[in-house]
Amino acid sequence: MQFNVIAGKKGDLRLKICRTNRAARYGQCEIDYMWPKGSGCCGSAWADKKLRIFNNQLFIKSGAFAKEEEKECFKDVHWVISIPIFSFLKKGLKFFGVLNTDTLSKCSIVLDRKILQISKTYAIIFRYLCESLNLFYIIEDE
């Protein structure tokens, strides 16, 4: 499993990976890819400001990536869980970026409970650490 935070600079219309866990094996094309709002799991989490779970293999088969090199770049990613994160400002919460969990092992068409539990546990630890340091916040769906 790989974890990353994608974010953009003020005024950016696309997000890209800015932080990853050390064990992650991202290729250069993944690191450089700019996700448009509403595209893919992370782009959807950005647009909707809600947790999103995607089967990346179905996403690729749907023709969502127009270019062959994009399909090739993400071909090993099977499931993606994206959680929007927010920074705390005096004026309130502001969208900061997206926390992603990617699975590289082949999974069934149905998301494996173990992977989901690991991702949720990581997100809870990440959330409390960041909130206690006043870095940013994760808003849970009601």
Q: Are 54 and 103 in contact (CB under 8 A)?
A: no
User: 57 vs 125, which has greater pLDDT?
Assistant: 57
Q: State pLDDT tens for residues 13-42.
A: 888 888 887 667 888 898 899 999 998 899
Q: CB-based burial of residue 87 (10 Å sphere; 0-12 exposed, 13-18 middle, 19+ buried)?
A: middle
Torsion of CA 49, 55, 61, 66, to 10 degrees: 30
Check: pTM over 0.85? Answer yes or no. no
pLDDT at 142 over 50: no
- Is CATH 3.30.450.40 the classification given to domain 2-132? yes
The full set of domain ranges for the chain reads: 2-132
